[in-house]
A and B are shown apart, each in its own frame.
Chain A
Amino acid sequence: MKKIAVLAAAGLLAGSAFSGAVAQETIKIGVTQPLTGAFAASGNYVAQGAKIAEDEINKAGGVLGKQIQLIIEDNKSNPTEAVSTVEKLIQKDKVPVLIGAWSSTLTLAVMPKLDEYQVPMIVETSSSGKITTSGNPYIFRISPTSEMEAKAFQPLVAKMGIKKANFLYTNNDFGIGSGAEYSKMLKANGVEIGVMETMDPKATDFSAQLAKIKSTGGDTLFVTTAVEQLTLILKQAEEQQLKVKIVSCGGSNSPDQLIDQVGSASNGSYHTAFFPPWFPEVTKNPDVAKRYMDEWKKRGHNVGGLTEGFRGYDGVYVAVAAIKAAGKPDPEAIRKALWGVTVKGIYGDIHFTKQGPAGKESGQNVPVVYLVTIDNGKVVRTKF
């Protein structure tokens, strides 16, 4: 009997705490990122970057006379969970604008909900072309598409003397989309395509795929995945003596982290980047970049995350610019306002052009794509 009483009391206590605290008047911005799971490293960096922007903006007085509040939900690198976070952010927290969801698969998963509840979302990382061409007017992407990335790489094909290329990418929208765009570009430039191997985003052992790639005799390997798997791939490629040029695509490769964890096996590899913290002076808005980098280092965050965190940073600034232009924290007003914003961000001068079927266009920014090489433990700009 006593045991029941104890359990019942605990239950009642828990229930009474459900009433929830009374919140101060703030303007909420919803953020859904993978804080755990296969993409946790990148998701955490983006969240950290977003928080830097939040504090900066609040210190400068917030927007519309109120402070902004980021409500960050963990989508666990899982599409069903991503939908659940968006549901919660819109229904419970009543956010008028969202930033998310990192991986293309996650973003594609939540898009129907944006349409259903008519709330705009700023896409900060995802690269699949489908996101802006599906006719969803609530999507505003500031990151580049795989197609843009592949186009930026084109001049390097002849310079690097690529004759036969192999692919290794994650079997989700991010990897598959990237593989498709790059192989299309390479074929158009006369390169023979070898094998296109896939891997599960959660896999840690690629010996089978790498052995197969080694046996095809290609000279270049294009890898698309996040930094966790990239680290392992570089290590295992070295173990298997895979002597080819490795190019990592997608921009979520954190070269500093690679140098740190992989060491000499990372030398000679190429990486696409959308923000080069090693030479920020060449970016469109170096003062913004410097401000972000200084605060990042001051907070003691991992330097390898600089190449990822800026996405969250820019995302928040764009959201706030739209809220300001809209004049009120209302989803429809913000959506309309997003078409007109121009933000001097780390991605460049951010503004949205129409993309997708007429009448239901999505917004797409056109950022700059950089190429870097790891040379003797240092990241340098690839010479064209």
Chain B
Amino acid sequence: MSRYLSFVLVAALASVPLWLHDFYVLHVLITTGIFIIAAMSLNLLLGFTGQLSLGHVAFFGIGAYTSALVSLGFEIHVLPDVTVGLAPKPVWFAMLAGIAVAGLTGYAIGKLSFRVRGAYFVIVSISFAEVVRLVAVNWVELTQGPMALNNIPALTLGIGPIELSFLRKPSFYLLVLAAMVVCYIIIVRLVTSRAGRAMIALRENESLAMSVGIDVTRYLVIATIVSAAMAGMAGALYTHYIRIVDPDIFLFIYTVTMVIMVITGGKGTLTGPLVGGAIFGILPEVLRAMAIRPEVQWIIYGVLMVLVVYFLPEGIVPAIKRSLAGWKRRTVDAL
């Protein structure tokens, strides 16, 4: 995407709150944006580094819960009469904490899991997410379990006398848009850097990469940390927008949603998750407006996913690119 085009697109998106007064549509755009960020983070791991991590929602949820807990404050008994507590902290601090903890978890997972490869890695990643979910359900003292963490404060930023509150939808929309742009830039920078090239080499042929001296594990871990931290940020944004979080956030179905976004959009491409995220963020609402039941909606998703894998195995974005290139060639030939 050319620089000019990107600017125009971002400016157009930023102007939305000015003319769109349907708050429900704005709500859909916000949640879609958050899921796009999560999809971008998964794409880094799945698309660029070639690791089929199906536990991604764990990072999203850990970011969400950490941010919620730090902003609400908590107290737990580590021993029968010894408590560890934290007073509520400002939301921006909590969100940073969420990103940090998620990134740290990514580091730990990266270091441990990459001893295991292929199908085994897939299973380990799923199991990890499930264990985290069960901990969230059962460690009631910390997470409130199925009763959910409620009344999570919204983000407010104060610089001197000026205070920005992100409680209302228009301001939160702009926040999510800004976060999306930042994440996109981070990924572009990472992928075009030396580390990024190493990751791609890893994806294409791991043994060959190792044989030319690329430290495979190191770059995998870097990718996981960035990916996890970004997913954690998406989770933190989500939790301070919806302002409630419960253990079902860790359900496998959300990982599946992110995977669908990445795969249909085009894994390993920069704009793939944007397209995939946009489609699968907005599609549920379109289907709901057509009074289609959620089960049918999911069946459509499943079928769509299978079709994309068969017919457009590289995703929508590469397919469009190819047909555009073909069109360009043909028009040039015709002249």
Which residues of A line the B interface, CB within 8 A?
A: 1, 3-4, 7, 11, 14-15, 17-18, 20, 74, 78-81, 83-84, 87-88, 91-92, 105, 108-109, 112, 170-173, 176, 200-201
Contacts and interface: CB of A to CB of B under 8 A. Distances in A.
A87 B27 contact: yes
Interface string B137-151: 110100001111011
Contacts of A79: 146-148, 150, 244, 246
Given A3-B312, A105-B146, A80 B24 contact: no
A172 B146 contact: yes
A14 B288 CA distance: 11
Contacts of A88: 24
B286 A200 contact: no
Given A80-B248, A171-B146, A3 B311 contact: yes
Interface stretch (B106-114, B179-187, B318-326): B318-326
Contacts of A11: 279
B289 A108 contact: no
Given A1-B326, A80-B248, A109 B148 contact: yes
Given A3-B312, A17-B289, A171-B140, A105 B147 contact: yes
A109 B244 contact: yes
Given A1-B326, A3-B319, A80-B246, A18 B311 contact: no
A112 B283 CA distance: 28
B27 A18 contact: no
B245 interface: yes
A20 B320 contact: no
B24 A7 contact: no
Contacts of B294: 74
B24 A105 contact: no
A15 B286 contact: yes
A14 B280 CA distance: 13
Contact of B249 (A74, A80, A92): A80
B323 A91 contact: no
Contacts of A87: 24, 27
Interface string B283-298: 1011101100010000
A17 B146 CA distance: 37
B24 A91 contact: yes
Contacts of A80: 148, 242, 244-246, 248-249
A362 B151 CA distance: 18
B316 interface: yes
Given A17-B290, A83-B242, A108 B150 contact: yes
B93 interface: no
Interface in B255-310: 279, 283, 285-287, 289-290, 294
A218 B26 CA distance: 56
A7 B316 contact: yes
A20 B27 contact: no
B120 interface: no
A316 B145 CA distance: 32
Contacts of B246: 78-80, 109
Contacts of B287: 14
Q: Which 5 A-B pairs have the closest CB atoms?
A: A79-B148, A91-B24, A92-B24, A172-B146, A79-B246
Contacts of B148: 79-80, 105, 108-109
Given A78-B248, A171-B140, A112 B23 contact: no
A112 B289 contact: no
Nearest to B291: A21
A244 B3 CA distance: 75
A20 B319 CA distance: 31
Contacts of B279: 11
10 contacts: A4-B320, A14-B286, A15-B286, A18-B289, A80-B242, A83-B244, A88-B24, A105-B148, A109-B244, A172-B147
A81 B140 CA distance: 20
Given A3-B319, A80-B245, A91 B312 contact: no
Given A3-B312, A80-B248, A109 B150 contact: yes
